[in-house]
Amino acid sequence: MTKEIRTAHVDADLHIEAYRFKGIMQKFPAHFHEYYVIGFIEEGQRHLICQGKEYIINPGDLLLFNPYDVHSCEQIDGKTLDYRCINVTPEVMKKAVFDINGSESLPRFNSSVVQRSDAVSSLKELHLQILNGEREFKKEELFLYLLEELMQEHSNLSFLSSAVDTSHEITTICSYLEDNYTNKITLDELSQLIGWSKYRLLRSFTKQKGISPYSYLETIRINQAKKLLEQGKKPIDVSFLTGFSDQSHLTRFFKNQVGLTPKQYMKIFENEKKTGC
């Protein structure tokens, strides 16, 4: 029998909860929450009733519960449930909506279930970032982009036209990231630097540079790491000299961008020096 896993984590940066259930058989009776629930099924199949409507939910289906939506669910044919979700209070949601749309209204999601939603991959990435204790910058990017997508496609909120932005502010952000890549950087300080909302900064930067601010920062760090490794610096030292939290953090991003681990990259230049002797 599959061992049950029940994990709950409160993210101190985003002020949201992340739950993970794996291998559970529990039936959930009719109940409601005072917060938004945004979740998805990883494995299993469930019979869901929400606001009087019945659904059969499957892997890849996105669940969107508004505050006070009454819902219940139970397993089908004895199948266990693997499920991930984030819980967002109205206060946190209202702040995010203001960042995204300049509105002080709370969204109401139109459907409780979105079958085979493309947003599931973004939600899973955010969920893993939270459970792995990743840095605030990356998580907040993912969180705002996810909420924007969900509100545009599945809520009652209308969105204002985006302002036409100049490249001066984007250049300022690039320079700041290039000069401060060894430090911990947050979206808050970047938005304050140019006087834009965090969402406007994210959208305008990504549109103009073709890469998000966080990805731009990590690319700067990787490029600097390559130079240090070429000089013979050890990966553990390079990680701290380039702003990564530890060697595993460096290795993960380095391999993702370069295709090699820092050690493998460093050995290329060690071998070249030996050959040149």
What is the DSSP track for 207-276?
A: HHHSS-HHHHHHHHHHHHHHHHHHTT--HHHHHHHTT-SSHHHHHHHHHHHHSS-HHHHHHHHHHHHHHH
pLDDT score at 244: 87
- pLDDT tens, the chain, 277 aa long: 568 999 999 999 999 999 999 999 899 999 999 999 999 999 999 999 999 999 999 999 999 999 999 999 998 878 899 999 999 999 999 999 988 888 888 999 999 999 999 999 999 999 999 998 887 888 999 999 999 999 989 999 876 655 556 689 999 999 999 999 999 999 999 999 999 989 889 989 998 888 899 999 999 999 999 999 999 899 999 999 998 888 888 898 888 888 889 999 888 887 666 655 4
Q: Which CATH number fits domain 162-277: 1.20.1250.20, 3.30.70.1350, 1.10.110.30, 1.10.10.60?
A: 1.10.10.60
Order of strands across the sheet with 53-57? 28-31, 71-75, 46-50, 53-57
pTM of the model: 0.83
The pLDDT score that the predictor gives to residue 163 is 55
CATH number of 5-154: 2.60.120.10
User: Angle between the 198-209 and 187-194 helix axes, to the nearest 10 degrees?
Assistant: 90
* In contact, 34 and 87? CB cutoff 8 Å: no
For helices 213-230 and 167-179, what crossing angle results, to 10°?
40
User: What residue spans define the domains of the chain?
Assistant: 5-154, 162-277
**What integer pLDDT is reported at residue 273 of this predicted model?**
60
Q: Report DSSP letters for 2-36, one per residue.
A: PPPEEEEEEETTTTEEEEEEEEE-PPEEEE--SSE
pLDDT at 180: 95
* Cα of 162 vs its chain's centroid, Å: 23
As given in the structure block, the two tokens for residue 88 are: 């967002």
